[in-house]
Each structure stands twice: as C-alpha cells, then as structure tokens.
Chain A
Amino acid sequence: MKIIAFAEQRNNQFKKTAFEVVCAAKTIADELSAELVALVVGGNVSPIAGELGKYGASRVIVVEDSRLQYYSTTAYAKVIAEVAQQESGQVIFLSASSLGKDVAPRVAAKLDAGLATDCTAIRVENGDCVATRPVYAGKGLTDVRITSPVKMFSLRPNVFSAGTPSSGAATIEKRNVPLTDADFTAAVKEVKASSGKKDVAEADIIVSGGRGLKGPEHFAMIEELASTLNAAVGASRAVVDAGWRPHDEQVGQTGKTVAPTLYIAVAISGAVQHLAGMSSSKFIVAINKDKDAPIFSIADYGIVGDAFEIVPAFSAELKKVLGK
C-alpha cells in the first residue's frame, strides 16, 4: 500500500502544515505498513524538498514548473492526481488550508475518491483509516471512513503535531507532468499580503473582541494586547456585521474555525455560533463583565470585570514580564 502526503509550500518555503501532514501520514503509514511518498509542487522547490525527510518522508517526488510558482487550481489538481495515479497511491493526505480546501475536491473528482475534509484526528481501525471531523462548526463530531478504493483526507491546520525534526534523509525524485495552457484555466496572477497582519487561521495566539467593546475605536486595546503577544486579532460576528472589523477576522460558525494554543475572548458573551468556532482552542481566557456569560463555561481562566480596565493592565503586565 502506498500513502501520498501533499506538502504545501508558498514562495518555495514549506508551510508548517506541510510538516503536520507529512508527520501524520507517516504515523498512519507505519501502522498500515505502507510506503509514504511526499509530493511537493511549485516553481523552484527541489532545494527545500529534502527537509521533508526530517518529518518522516523517505521518498519525495518533486514536480517543478515556473508556471507553478503561483497556485493554479486546475494545474495543481492535475499534477496531484497524475502523480497519485502513477504511484497507485491509495490514501492521500493534504492540509485543509486555503490551498488544500480548494484543490482537494478537484483531485477527488479526478480520482473518483471519497474525501473527508478538515479532519481533526485520524486513526487506524481494522486496517482502515477512521477520521474524526467536526460538523456544525464543532457542535458535533463525526467518525467517518471512506469506502472508495482511493481515499483522501484533508487535515485541519494547527491540530496535528509536526513532531520533532529528526536527522532523517529523503531521496528526491523529479517528476515531469506535462502541462499546457489549457491546464491553467484558473490561475493566480498576484498575491496581496495583508500588511504584517497575522491570520486567525494560522495564529498560535488569538485575541478576540466582541460587542461589549462598544465601538470600533476600542479595538485599539485589543490590537495592543495582540501585538504584545504576537497574536492575531479576531472578532465576533456581531462586530463584523456592524462593520467594526473586517470579515476575515471573524471567528465562529459563519467565520473561521480556529484552534490556537491560547484564545483570549474580550467582551464576547459566547453565542453558540462563536463557541463553535473556537472551543477547540487549547487554552481559553475570557474577560467579560457578565458572570453568567456562556463564554465562561468553556474558559480555562476568567476575569469577571470591566474590559476597559483589565485589558490595558493585561498588556502592561505582559510587557513587563516579557521584557518588551
């Protein structure tokens, strides 16, 4: 049996999720006594391909083409599906990142494969992969298995451990997948980075503000606390709908589902939609003046009090402790 792990890169640098995917795939491959093959696709990726050896890939296939420097839904889908076919890969792992979520269904359709997306755990049972995937934004958890011959799993970023890099080495094989203009019918022409802004989906620490902050101008103290912690700024649906914050900061059922190490909820009461999007955070701190706010039911540490007084004091104390 052969398992393929798609290791995602941007600008010829691996993303952390690439290591998470390779490491999780390696664990499953060992349990199934299967061979693990990592796949890297991009513009100039051979120089970095060897890094995957440290995360358990003994063989890495590299598909390089200057036109693959930027992501293209159609071309990436073709490359991944062709390599999977050439290798007779039976199980394919990728990340449920923005790229992974975009490309995975297209690969699944090409390979006639069942796809379980955004999995938060995976295990082997009776020689078959069983994945746990949250539904209803985490209000429910399902265990699923895939019945088609080729099985695909996308793994939620930040949930799986990338392990500790070993001294393992990988053999690198360049593979040519011929591509024509017809394979680039949807292609990225430009990438606009948000200036210095951390994304809630990738952040290790998130500081979120809610309606209790009374106005957009009071997010300055949330931003200050976030910058002290090198954290991303998040927001509840209420403040996004009110136009106080951009929608890409929204955490919750109609926003982003996040699983950071630390989630600090400020003046957020904790509507069921919000809790669904952040309850799998490893540690939750809640600051709210209403002691009955539902957010306290899932918080590890809470302060019942006035955010306008507490948040600046929190930033000041952290600066002192962290020597900033």
Chain B
Amino acid sequence: MKILVFVNHVPDTETKVKVSADGKTIDPAGVNYMLNPYDEIAVEEGLKLREKSSGEVVVVSLGTDANKETLRKALAMGCDKAVVLKDSSPRDSFGVARALADYAKEYSPDIILCGKQSIDYDDAQVGGLVAEMLGLPSISVVVNLDVTDGAIVAEREIEGGHEIVHSRLPAVIIAQKGLNQPRYPSLKGIMDAKRKQIEERVVSAIKPRVEVLAMKKPSAKPPGKIVGTDASAIPELVRLLHEEAKII
C-alpha cells in the first residue's frame, strides 16, 4: 500500500502570539515549532496501515528547510521517506493544497492522510481541497478507521454523535484527535531518521486568494469579580448570573 501523509510545521501550543511589524503575521522570534498535533495522528495512522498491509509511508511538507525538523520527527516515528516542497512565499490553504495535490498526483498513493487542521491558521481546508483537486473521496474528523480490501469504514465526529461513512480507496482521510495515540519515536528510529535523506523540490509560488489585511490580538477583558472564597459565595454568584449576566 502506498501511503502519503501531509504534515505541517507549526508554532507549538505554548506559543504566546505576538504580532510582527508587518501587522499581518506572528512574530516568529522565540517561537518553538512542532509537528502539527493533528498531522502527528495522521502519521501514526499511516504507520498502523503499513503494519497491517505492508507498503511504504511517504511524508511530505510544504515550507522551507525549517520543515525538515518536523519531517525528521515523522521519519523517527517510522515513515520511510520524506519530501519537502520548498517555497517561502505566503500561501493560503488553496496554494498549499495545490502543491500537495500536484505531488500526490505524481506519487499516486492508495491513501492520503492529514490532520483536520493546522493549529496555526486553523483553516481546516487542505484535506478537502486536495481530495477535490484529485477527484478523490474524503472523510474528515475521523476518529475510527477500518480499511479492508480497499473498502473504508470510518467514523467521523459530528455535533452530538458520530457518522459512519463508507468509501473506497484511493481516498483522503482527515484525522481528528481520538483516532489513535501517536507513538514516541524510538532511539533507533531517531538515529535512523538522522541518516535518511530528505528529498527537496522547489515549487512555484501561488498568489493567495484569501488576503490577510491585518492581525491583532483579541482585546483583553477587564478583570472580573472574585465573589468569595468558599461555598458561602454561591448565593451571590447565582444572583450575579441571574441579575447581571441574565443567564439563569
């Protein structure tokens, strides 16, 4: 089975957002980057599929040399091959999807996996865009996946429940937390990953369709009211919720 996983290199969840001088992006100073947590789940699922059916897992990321750190993490987890598609110009999800879809078309995988969204721009678009560009079915926010003889049964999260979706390979599977518990790279995996070559390709820039006009931080809330220090404060809290907030 040819398994292709898209991964993104994103500021880690501890990041405190500071807006850069251009007023449109975050200031990267002091920011640590990580493998996007949802993509890590996609990598794990790819590895599990390979363990079940043999084949190879190729991991691909769009960005710069910095993305190699994230690709090495995926290699250390056990992926067979890593590719960085290089372009440092700003892209929206459409531009990202275009480059990834072009690569996928050439590689012709049986299954494409990615996370439900990158935790930087929270766009939640790339998986669906790639699937449509390639004319493949897609299933998003997947928390349970079974692939047997090319038939897919996936469970996806919806408000207040789950949907059971049937499809067939080749397809794009978009991972949600809960699908699996990503493994930690083994020491051997980390050592092996250091020796593996990361293929580099230069891709041409695409003008974004979604233009960021400005980025700002949400306005800070004025400090709230400490109502008390024990259960005796409860009647006052309930009164405030009733009279001030008019909720109950």
Contacts and interface: CB of A to CB of B under 8 A. Distances in A.
A136 B117 CA distance: 11
Interface residues on A, range: 35 or more
Interface of B: 11, 13-17, 19, 24, 26, 37-38, 92-94, 97, 119-129, 131-133, 136-141, 143, 155-168, 171, 177-178, 207-218, 221, 223-231, 233-235, 237-238, 240-242, 245, 247-248
A262 B247 contact: yes
Contacts of B163: 70-71, 188, 190-192
A306 B228 CA distance: 11
A110 B215 contact: no
Nearest to B115: A254
A100 to B, nearest CB: 10
A9 B87 CA distance: 41
10 contacts: A102-B140, A104-B125, A135-B120, A140-B26, A143-B213, A253-B119, A255-B177, A262-B241, A297-B223, A303-B227
Interface string A170-208: 000000000000000111111111100111011001000
5 A-B pairs with the lowest CB-CB distances in the bound complex, closest first: A114-B209, A105-B128, A109-B132, A186-B137, A313-B231
Interface string A129-140: 010011111111
Contacts of B211: 144-147
Given A109-B128, A189-B166, A298-B224, 15 more contacts: A77-B132, A106-B132, A114-B210, A139-B16, A143-B213, A144-B211, A185-B168, A189-B164, A191-B162, A248-B143, A248-B157, A254-B177, A300-B224, A313-B234, A321-B238
Q: Is the interface of A mostly helix, strand, loop or mixed?
A: mixed
A272 B120 CA distance: 14
Interface in A88-136: 97-99, 101-106, 108-110, 113-118, 130, 133-136
A148 to B, nearest CB: 4
A217 interface: no
A303 B122 contact: no
B218 A279 contact: yes
Contacts of B166: 186-187, 189
A317 B235 contact: yes
Contact of B229 (A73, A139, A145, A303): A303
A205 B245 CA distance: 13
A110 B134 CA distance: 11
A193 B161 contact: yes
A285 interface: yes
A117 B127 CA distance: 14
A205 B230 CA distance: 23
A105 B125 contact: yes
A201 B158 CA distance: 9
Given A105-B127, A136-B15, A73 B178 contact: no
B223 A98 contact: no
Contacts of A186: 137-139, 165-167, 171
A248 B141 CA distance: 11
Contacts of B217: 139-141
Contact of B178 (A134, A142, A248, A272): A248
Given A106-B131, A199-B159, A117 B125 contact: yes
B190 to A, nearest CB: 23
A250 interface: yes
Contact of A305 (B97, B132, B229): B229
Nearest to A254: B37
A232 B133 CA distance: 38
Contacts of B247: 205, 261-262, 283
A299 interface: yes
B240 A301 contact: yes
A118 B125 CA distance: 11
A118 B121 CA distance: 11
A34 interface: no
B34 to A, nearest CB: 11
A229 interface: yes
B162 A192 contact: yes
